[in-house]
Amino acid sequence: MNKRITVIIWFCCLPLWLIAATRTAIKIDTDALSLVFQVGDNGRLYQSYLGKRLHLQTDLSQLSLGTEAYITHGMEDYFEPAIHVVHNDFNSSLLLKYQSHETKQVSDGTSETIVTLQDDKYPVTVTLHYVAYAHENLIKTFTEISHQEKKPIELQKYASSMLHFSNAHYFLTEYSGDWAEEARPSTQPLYYGKKVIDTKLGSRANMFVSPFFQLALGDEASETEGEVILGSIGWTGNFQFTFEVNQLGGLRVISGINPYASAYKLSPNEVFRTPDFYFTYSFNGVGEASRNFHRWALKYQVKDGEKPRYTLLNNWENTSFNFNEEKLVNLMGEAKSFGLDIFLLDDGWFGTKYPRNDDHQGLGDWTEIQEKLPHGVGYLTEAAKKQGIKFGIWIEPEMVNPKSELYEKHPDWVIHLPNRDEYYFRNQLVLDLSNPQVQDFVFSILDNLMTKYPEIAFFKWDCNSPITNIYSYYLKEKQSHLYIEHVRGLYKILERVKAKYPNLPMMLCSGGGGRTDFEALKYFTEFWASDNTDPIERLYIQWGYSQVFPSKVICSHVTSWNRNTSIKFRTDVAMMGKLGFDINLSGLNENEASFCKQAIQNYNTLKPVILDGDMYRLVSPYVGNHTSTMYVSENQDKAVVFAFDIHPRYAETVWPVKLQGLDPQKQYKVQEINRMPNARGGQYAEPKTYSGEYLMQVGLNLFSAYSTSSKVIEVTAN
């Protein structure tokens, strides 16, 4: 018999599992989950499994092949692809075959798996990267695309990640809103068809929707139950998440830069590296998924994630543009007497020809206004030093008012159309960060300030306008690269800042919470979550951001935007994040002032728990009239519980709040703190002792039905 026929007959007689066993399998593990790929007989890469960790290598051979991992345009798939390229011969197909893979240990607890795929007809290479954080159960993915065709190829789609799910039901939660109403969750089931979440703001990720989502598999997830994925993209610009369910009920999730108006000409040998997509998978509800993100963010992603944070007094809500040296020095003294660490001078300190006395002019001209600051910023840093407080300053270096010397000198540095009327967002335009000269200028704003005034200890870096009037003088025929090159330019600037000033804490602001993404947080210690500081609204906004962001990075300030809430209520809300004040402290009465001083002291003691501990969202403001969140130290010896009666109803029945995350075996002392000096009564005013088990099974009576009010409870293991 012909030898080839013998081999075929022999192969056909093999049991299926043995054929499968011969497949190349790639397994990416964290402590609790596995992501498995296999190479099909056709040489293509398939996602065979994503779920609870599979421990036995032998089980891999039982897995069916699954769905192609990184689906290309132009082949046999009828749904949304991950990648779409157009070759030099205008052929727009791509067929990726497995070439190789390797897994390397990056550090203790972190490994990276790289899978290389190659087209068999065109010299195009795609590498898929999966960085697995074992203990945080989080996987970071990104993709690199390159080629050796003669001339540039065009990338029309270039996803960071494609993931496949196969479940009876899917529930997607998005976090949308607007300026001053950021991160409002809404959940919808996914059926056949496509749901796209994306933005086209250019200079920021967020205004209408946050760059993260929650996806529950099978059933809707609660804080403590259910299978749920949390995903987020690290890109400070246009992003896109696509969720598509096919006719068989399979779901694909494609994440990356929004390819809208962004076809990219990729030169031979240039590597197109997508942004990072991060996801975690919890089998015990959303709370655990959030804690995975928080731990990972502080350990691996956020600038100085494991270092302490400072409290501050900001002058913006208090003085707006109306200040002078004397006023500012007085504010520094007040901040110091309240026990705050930094005085932060906001907008309105610069502009010579066009002084920035309102938001219509001066942006771009970074020299002090003579009338307001005749002795310059140096006088203020000196005054701060004398008062024993650090000094911080606001800049918005990527922007320009058309009424400015900068615009007059360098109109070609500004993104605007050469032949049309300009359209302004907050009376300003965006500088073209794709231009290296502009990158130098933006870097020099901070660098000059630091060189001249090395005592500056903190920056608030703002970015108020999305990109409008989109046209780059610098990019010329490559206009479709602008959205991408602009963000890359921003990162180049921030890299330089970080390299030269590695220990400089910086707050990122973008007209409220426009820049709330994890790539930006590599360079910033914290972000301004919203211009809305009404404490009731903040309970909802902070709840939304807490899905993926740790409390340490969410700036929360006490202001006068208060809807008649007490200073205690406002301070208690702000203490759940990175605490600051942006209020006229001298306008507080004696009781209020002494409450604030005590609360700041409490905060300083409890910072390690609130900012570095584990967060448990106990009662959602979205399901009733009350809300509660707690923080627990890693060793479970200390916890802080915040409880708020938002809109209590007359004669409403209120239920005990069951705590979480404690050690059931330990005994805990429970005591209410942050009490007004004249407060009377209260069940937990005097310390009481309970077991961890009792606190978690029975709970504490923290809610009341009388008025909008709040409680903070300190829980300490005996």
Least separation in angstroms between residue 463's CB and ligand GLA is: 9
Least separation in angstroms between residue 526's CB and ligand GLA is: 13
Q: Does 136 bind ligand GLA (CB under 6 A)?
A: no
Which residues share a beta bridge with 172? 188, 215
- Interaction mask 605-644, ligand GLA, x per CB under 6 A: ----------------------------------------
Closer by beta carbon to ligand GLA, 281 or else 316: 316
d(C-alpha 287, C-alpha 598), whole Å: 31
**CB-CB contact of 308 with 607 (8 Å):** yes
Least separation in angstroms between residue 334's CB and ligand GLA is: 19
Q: Does 462 bind ligand GLA (CB under 6 A)?
A: yes
**CB-CB contact of 153 with 128 (8 Å):** no
Residue of this chain nearest to ligand GLA (CB atom): 347
Those residues whose C-beta lies under 8 Å from the C-beta of residue 32, and which sit 6 or more positions away, are 52, 53, 137, 281, 283
Q: Does 119 bind ligand GLA (CB under 6 A)?
A: no
Strands (E), 226-326: 227-234, 239-245, 250-257, 264-266, 272-273, 276-282, 312-314
Total residues binding ligand GLA (CB under 6 A):
12
Q: Does 526 bind ligand GLA (CB under 6 A)?
A: no
Which residues share a beta bridge with 280? 138, 230
Q: Does 464 bind ligand GLA (CB under 6 A)?
A: yes
- Interaction mask 383-412, ligand GLA, x per CB under 6 A: -----------x------------------
- Interaction mask 315-354, ligand GLA, x per CB under 6 A: -x-----------------------------xx-------
- Interaction mask 408-447, ligand GLA, x per CB under 6 A: ----------------------------------------
Q: Does 98 bind ligand GLA (CB under 6 A)?
A: no
Closer by beta carbon to ligand GLA, 241 or else 350: 350
Closer by beta carbon to ligand GLA, 512 or else 550: 512
d(C-alpha 238, C-alpha 94), whole Å: 25
**CB-CB contact of 342 with 581 (8 Å):** no
Q: What is the DSSP string of 171-240?
A: EEEEEE--TTS--EEEEEE--SEEEEEE---SS-S-SSEEEEEEEEESS---SSSBEEEEEEEE-SS-EE
Closer by beta carbon to ligand GLA, 136 or else 346: 346
d(C-alpha 530, C-alpha 508), whole Å: 11
Write the single-letter amino acid at 599: A
Query: H or E element: which one contains 45?
Result: strand 45-52
Residue with tokens 């809208």: 260
Those residues whose C-beta lies under 8 Å from the C-beta of residue 291, and which sit 6 or more positions away, are 614, 615
Query: In this chain, which stretch among 19-27, 269-277, 506-514, 628-636 interacts with ligand GLA, using CB under 6 A?
Result: 506-514
Least separation in angstroms between residue 310's CB and ligand GLA is: 17
Secondary structure letter of residue 428 according to DSSP: B
Of residues 349-378, those binding ligand GLA (CB under 6 A): 359
Closer by beta carbon to ligand GLA, 517 or else 531: 531
Q: Does 512 bind ligand GLA (CB under 6 A)?
A: yes
- At residue 154, φ and ψ (nearest 5 deg) are -105, 125
Those residues whose C-beta lies under 8 Å from the C-beta of residue 555, and which sit 6 or more positions away, are 507, 526, 527, 528, 529, 577, 578, 580
Closer by beta carbon to ligand GLA, 347 or else 365: 347
Strands 429-430 and 276-282: unpaired
Closer by beta carbon to ligand GLA, 425 or else 471: 425
Q: Applying CB under 6 A, which of residues 35, 245, 509, 599 lies at the interface with ligand GLA?
A: 509
Q: Applying CB under 6 A, which of residues 531, 534, 645, 672 lies at the interface with ligand GLA?
A: 531
Closer by beta carbon to ligand GLA, 288 or else 346: 346
Query: In this chain, which stretch among 245-253, 504-512, 546-554, 656-664 interacts with ligand GLA, using CB under 6 A?
Result: 504-512
Least separation in angstroms between residue 326's CB and ligand GLA is: 21
Closer by beta carbon to ligand GLA, 401 or else 674: 401
- At residue 468, φ and ψ (nearest 5 deg) are -120, 170
Query: In this chain, which stretch among 20-28, 63-71, 287-295, 509-517 interacts with ligand GLA, using CB under 6 A?
Result: 509-517
Closest CA to 25 of 1, 68, 55, 60: 60
Q: Does 511 bind ligand GLA (CB under 6 A)?
A: yes
Q: Applying CB under 6 A, which of residues 133, 171, 413, 528 lies at the interface with ligand GLA?
A: 528
Token pair, residue 699, equals: 């709970």
Token pair, residue 627, equals: 């809300």
Instruction: Return residues touching ligand GLA (CB under 6 A).
Output: 316, 346-347, 359, 394, 462, 464, 509, 511-512, 528, 531
